[in-house]
């Protein structure tokens, strides 16, 4: 049995909740997910906050992304002033500003935002594609401008093209800042829970329950890691390569987040469940790995059956052998999920999940 080390003076009720929750999590993994395995951890350490600075490559930081967008907007505004006497060119540049700003606004917002148009929510990939189309049209304008000795227009377009090339690259690999409520450390085989951070996010009245949700998430990491470690592919648990790191983190966090959200749905209050979903959907998948839980939640809509977790099981067991294959399985469902965007709306506060034991829509306040 693990030991709980209360290093920050968290209330005894919080400590008691952790001890009481563990057998429930074990039973839940076995009965609801068919995973009857040990959880690879020996200690739970309760600390106040995770004070270790997040290790983010500056190039892929939100701060750098914001700088790039402001530079891009400056050049687009300059181009707008240069083509005022050319209505077709001006219309194209205005469209470019509008699309670029929508991407910027979505990335800088605390939660996913909806892009109106075509009656659906655009994914990050689709938004980038929309801007790429406009950039290609700009290249045509540049050739015409050069042919007519309008070198200032051509030079400004060159700057926009170069800026967008770097900006779109960073968009794909950007690392979002995060306040961790807990974390699992494979080398030490322990789970840390950040009591004050949990309390700050949910409030003192629900801290014990929210702690149980966070504990369930970290327990799944411990279970998952223990299973992966039995295979020679343990070196594939993580990667120093930015693209591979994002994909593998997306797999691990999607699985753990969906497991803990399902646990919250069945075992905890609606307030905890709603708050947990708000955090999960704070940014787009795959850079924000937790958002992949949405893909598992929508999966039963596609197969037309009441059978849940078939996608979850496929991704989980693929990840035991190869994280890249698991990611491709998960990523392939994104195109399907866009067909069901009418089930999800942050602006109206509703996200209609698959049927659960409570048969309820999620209400995000």
For 217-257, how does the pLDDT look when each residue is reduced to its tens digit (9 = 90+)? 999 999 999 998 887 655 566 676 778 889 999 999 999 99
In this prediction, residues 58-87 reach a mean pLDDT of: 95
Amino acid 117: pLDDT: 38
**Rounded distance, CA 139 to CA 362, Å?**
46
Q: Is the pLDDT of residue 353 over 80?
A: no
In this prediction, residues 211-222 reach a mean pLDDT of: 98
> How many degrees, rounded to 5, is the angle at CA 66 between CA 63 and CA 71?
130
Amino acid 309: pLDDT: 61
The mean predicted confidence, pLDDT, of the chain is 85
**Rounded distance, CA 19 to CA 37, Å?**
18
The pTM of the full predicted model, rounded to 2 decimals, is 0.82
* Chain center to CA of 63: 18
Amino acid 283: pLDDT: 87
Q: Using pLDDT thresholds of 50, 70 and 90, give the confidence band for residue 299.
A: low
Amino acid 346: pLDDT: 36
Amino acid 113: pLDDT: 41
Looking at 48-57, 200-209, 272-281, which range is the least confident one?
48-57
> Do 93 and 278 contact (CB within 8 A), yes or no?
no
Q: In the chain, where are the structural domains located? A: 3-56+177-360, 58-173
């Amino acid at each position: 049995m693990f030991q709980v080390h209360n290093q920050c003076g968290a209330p005894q009720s919080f400590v008691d909740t952790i001890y009481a929750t563990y057998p429930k999590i074990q039973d839940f993994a076995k009965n609801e997910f068919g995973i009857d395995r040990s959880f690879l951890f020996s200690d739970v350490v309760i600390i106040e906050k995770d004070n270790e600075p997040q290790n983010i490559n500056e190039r892929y930081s939100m701060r750098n992304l914001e700088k790039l967008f402001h530079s891009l907007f400056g050049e687009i505004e300059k181009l707008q002033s240069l083509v005022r006497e050319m209505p077709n060119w001006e219309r194209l540049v205005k469209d470019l500003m509008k699309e670029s700003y929508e991407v910027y606004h979505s990335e800088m917002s605390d939660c996913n935002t909806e892009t109106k148009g075509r009656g659906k929510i655009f994914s990050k990939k689709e938004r980038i594609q929309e801007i790429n189309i406009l950039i290609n049209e700009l290249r045509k304008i540049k050739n015409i401008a050069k042919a007519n000795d309008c070198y200032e227009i051509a030079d400004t377009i060159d700057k926009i093209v170069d800026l967008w090339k770097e900006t779109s690259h960073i968009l794909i690999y950007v690392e979002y800042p995060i306040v961790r409520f807990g974390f699992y450390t494979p080398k030490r085989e322990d789970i840390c829970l950040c009591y004050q951070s949990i309390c700050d996010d949910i409030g003192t009245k629900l801290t014990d329950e929210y702690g149980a949700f966070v504990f369930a998430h970290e327990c799944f990491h411990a279970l998952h890691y223990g299973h992966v470690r039995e295979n020679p592919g343990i070196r594939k648990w993580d990667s120093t390569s930015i693209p591979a790191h994002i994909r593998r983190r997306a797999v691990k966090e999607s699985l753990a987040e969906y497991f803990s959200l399902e646990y919250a749905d069945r075992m905890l209050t609606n307030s905890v469940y709603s708050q947990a979903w708000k955090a999960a959907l704070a940014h787009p998948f795959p850079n924000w790995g937790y958002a992949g839980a949405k893909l598992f939640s929508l999966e039963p809509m596609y197969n037309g059956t009441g059978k849940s977790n078939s996608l979850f099981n496929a991704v989980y067991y693929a990840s035991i052998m190869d994280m890249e294959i698991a990611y491709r399985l998960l990523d392939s469902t994104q195109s399907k999920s866009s067909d069901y965007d009418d089930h999800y709306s942050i602006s109206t506060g509703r996200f209609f999940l698959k049927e659960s034991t409570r048969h309820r829509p999620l209400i995000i306040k």
